[in-house]
Structure 1
Amino acid sequence: MNKSSVFTVIVLIFSLTSTAQVVEKLTREEAMSETLENNFGIKMAKNDLRIADNNRGILNSGYLPSVTGLAGANYSIQDQEVTFRDGTTNIVEGAETKRYDASVNINYTLFDGLGRWYDYKRLKEEYNLSELEVRQTIENTLLQMFTVYFEVARLTENVEVLKSTYENTKNRLVRAEYRFEYGQTNRLEVLNAQVDLVTDSINLINARQTLRNTKRDLNVVLNQSIERNFEVDTTVSFIEGLRMQTYLEEADTNNVRLQMARSNIEVSTLNFKASRSVYLPTVNLSGSYGWNEGQFPVTSFATGNTSTGLAAGVSLSWNLFDGGSGITSVKNSKIQIENQTLLKEQLQVEVARDIANAEGNYRNRLEIYRLQEQNVVTATDNYERSLERYKLGQITSVELRQAQINLLNNRTTRNLAKYQAKIAELELLQQTGQLLNVAF
């Protein structure tokens, strides 16, 4: 084996070593499942939803009474001098007085101007808003995950393209060496093939490293070990046009940002209604059960007493004027409704624009992908014809190399166009509110 052949074998072994191991297959469904289960952002969003769920519960509603228990003991020692009406005087040194008491008290707000009622409804609406926020977080995270997933798929296909290019160049070098040995070509053909082989090897090595780095990026999104190796599904399908048109028609109802805007208006409306409770009275009920015991010195008319019993009461309070803070709060709450309504109208315009842009990008990239597919067919046919002509000695290795590079560029560009079209489709699905409702 000559030096060039040894060089070829060394480069081949170095380039292909990293693919020797068997790796797991990570489907899109599994990637989605791992993201929903493990992603840190989604976990924190779900914890916020749990807080909102606690807040909307009966224990935070204000509808339950408050119950308190009180207990106490007092002790005093004094020197006392008591003069009675008949003029006699009684002096006691170190007179002790002991008092003990315990009680259970209950307070309940019977009516507070309906503020409690609207606050309770607001907490329930805030839970619905939190659900929408979790959905928005999930949509954004899944879009991020799929962007990285399809980048892994694109780089995987590019590696295969580069491997095919490498193999073709290697075969060309072997053919050039044989032809040189038999005097059918000059040394320049061999040198050109060796240079091209080194270039293809470097491109393949760099592509594999980029692929490994991108897999680590995906593992971070999935919250998995960054060194976990896997293969992804490189098949891509697109949603049929009629179904996508239905999604577009329902976008105003399903877009999560618009749903959140509507929910914010409802929260502000309930805040406004609750703030008006300042104009109405508050009625409170109270009750207690208590025990008292006292032990007194001889200077007292009684040396001790014990009492137990129930007590109950009702009270009404009406804040006729609080300096104007209540009226100000009501006015500001009403303005807040106006602001949320304006924000919703602004979002409607922005969402309509975003949907139009996303739809245009999707259709444009889908058309580019289809054109690039046709380019690959043409470039493949051109390369195969050029290879046959090269074998017959009708064209030079430089012309064959140009056809090979054209095929390489068209195949990698086709891969890029395919996955850009798919990401554009996912972005459009997010804008229409359907990202979580379709299979990938």
Structure 2
Amino acid sequence: MIKTLFIVLSFTIHPPLQQPDTALTEAEAVAIALEKSFDIRLETYNMEIAKNNNTIGNAGYLPTVEATASTGRTIQNTELEFASGDSQARDGAKSTSTNAGLSLNWTIFDGLKMFATKERLDQIERSNEYILKSQVQNTVSDVLKAFYNAGLEQERLRLLKSNLELSEERVQISKDKYEIGKASKMEYLQAQVDFNTDQSAYVKQREVIAVRLYELQQIMGLSETTDSLKLAFSYDLNMILSRIQAEELALSQNPNLRSMEMAREVSILATKELERSRLPELDFNMGYNYAKSEAEAGFVLQNQSTGINYGLSARMTLFDGLNQSRQIQNAQIQAEYAQTSFERSKTVLLTSVRSAFLTYQNAVELAQLETQNLEVAEENVAIALERYRVGKSNPLEIREAQNNAVNAQIRHLEALNTAKIAEIELLRLTGEIVR
């Protein structure tokens, strides 16, 4: 067990089957995902909406100006008798009216509600920025994890192919020995059975790789996928953080936790808005009107007026069936809920950091142990093959040495891959995976 909580490690394995000019690197995979990921694009739209909503006009700072205009005509049969004794009668008398105006309404005091609204809109925009950042980090993390998991299966295929070649060589040796009478036919047939078993494992592994590559390309946002993609990678482990440092970074930088903190602030500000809506509201009103009417019958044949009006109006809700009190109580409960959710998320985050750190430490230790086993296992299979070639060992001995070598190599790769996945998770949790 690694006792110290401070790790400075550089442990590298360079797989031999990558071709740099044709293989996909992790940097290229991340770049493609950042450009094409549907999840990132969807969150970008939400952030743009929140940004568009965060204006002083939406908060209620600015006045509203309206323009109105209307015109109409009537045709009537009229009969009029005046006090003087005169009378007037007209069939189909036409009259027209035209009205136009501008009106301005400006809330100059609303109990300071508009300031709380603007703060709430600021927090919503910041929250969406953190949500987008969290999605970007999650996407990068998912791509890297899928990349290295596919790379692990790629390396597993290489090992199985090497093992298959060894089994093929063993078949040839046993055949030669059988033909000259130095081995039984059963030994020759057993070598063929083992070769067929290894060949079956190799074919199945190709299917596993194809699935992993499809998953990787789906996360990258590619619509056209291929199962022949080659990956160029190396297991470079460089976690230079103590557990305490990782926890501190997670609490200060994790974008998901920051977005929940913003959501808590939004709930508090929503309560302030409702509380301030109880105070009186003062509006300034101003308008300009134009009116003109013409009639073929009546007292006034033509009338035209223009003018400006202005004034102040105040209003205050005295009783609304206790609905405001109910809304404020619900908002306070929502704020408490957001606070509790935030505290819970902090606990979950710290637990995740500690678990990932422990996984990383153990995987690094296992990788170091398996490095020693590799040398022994590879030397053992070489000796066993040579002993079998000269007739000093039996098929069981070489088969066991062969399986031990493959298993040791796979355990070594799996330990490195586990450490790399844990490192990626730690970088995501601490907010360091994308800076």
Q: Given the two structures, how large is their TM-score scaled by the length of structure 1? A: 0.88
CA shift, 1:131, in A, is: 1.3
Q: Who is 1:264 aligned against?
A: 263
5 Å-filtered alignment, 1:30-429, equals 30-224=28-222, 225-227=224-226, 229-242=228-241, 246-300=245-299, 302-429=300-427
CA shift, 1:38, in A, is: 0.8
Q: Deviations over 1:126-157 (max 9, x none)?
A: 01111111122223322322222111101111
CA distance, structure 2, for counterparts of residue 60 and residue 290 of structure 1: 28
CA distance, structure 1, for counterparts of residue 372 and residue 244 of structure 2: 26
CA shift, 1:295, in A, is: 0.8
Q: CA RMSD in A?
A: 2.3
CA distance, structure 2, for counterparts of residue 49 and residue 372 of structure 1: 47
Q: What secondary structure is seen at the aligned counterpart in 2 of 1:230?
A: coil
CA distance, structure 1, for counterparts of residue 51 and residue 153 of structure 2: 43
Q: Who is 1:16 aligned against?
A: none
Gaps of 5+ in 1: 1-18
Q: What secondary structure is seen at the aligned counterpart in 1 of 2:391?
A: coil
Structure of greater relative contact order (alpha carbons < 8 Å, 6+ residues apart): 2
Q: Given the two structures, how large is their TM-score scaled by the length of structure 2? A: 0.89
Worse-superposed segment, 262-271 or 250-259:
250-259
Q: Deviations over 1:59-102 (max 9, x none)?
A: 43322322222121222222222222223333333322211112
Q: Deviations over 1:221-247 (max 9, x none)?
A: 112112264211231121244466533
Q: Who is 2:8 aligned against?
A: none
CA distance, structure 1, for counterparts of residue 304 and residue 227 of structure 2: 77
Structure 1 residues 173 and 228: CA distance shift in structure 2, 3 A = closer
CA distance, structure 2, for counterparts of residue 281 and residue 100 of structure 1: 37
CA distance, structure 1, for counterparts of residue 318 and residue 277 of structure 2: 9
Gaps of 5+ in 2: 1-16
Structure 1 residues 228 and 411: CA distance shift in structure 2, 3 A = closer
Equivalent residue letter for 1:249: E
Count, aligned residues: 417
Equivalent residue letter for 1:344: F
CA shift, 1:254, in A, is: 2.0
CA distance, structure 1, for counterparts of residue 160 and residue 196 of structure 2: 12
Q: What secondary structure is seen at the aligned counterpart in 2 of 1:99?
A: strand
Q: Deviations over 1:285-339 (max 9, x none)?
A: 2222332211123432x21122233332322222233332223323332333222
Worse-superposed segment, 225-234 or 420-429:
225-234
CA distance, structure 2, for counterparts of residue 155 and residue 228 of structure 1: 13
Q: What secondary structure is seen at the aligned counterpart in 2 of 1:81?
A: strand
Worse-superposed segment, 104-113 or 199-208:
104-113
CA distance, structure 2, for counterparts of residue 110 and residue 142 of structure 1: 48
Structure 1 residues 242 and 357: CA distance shift in structure 2, 3 A = closer
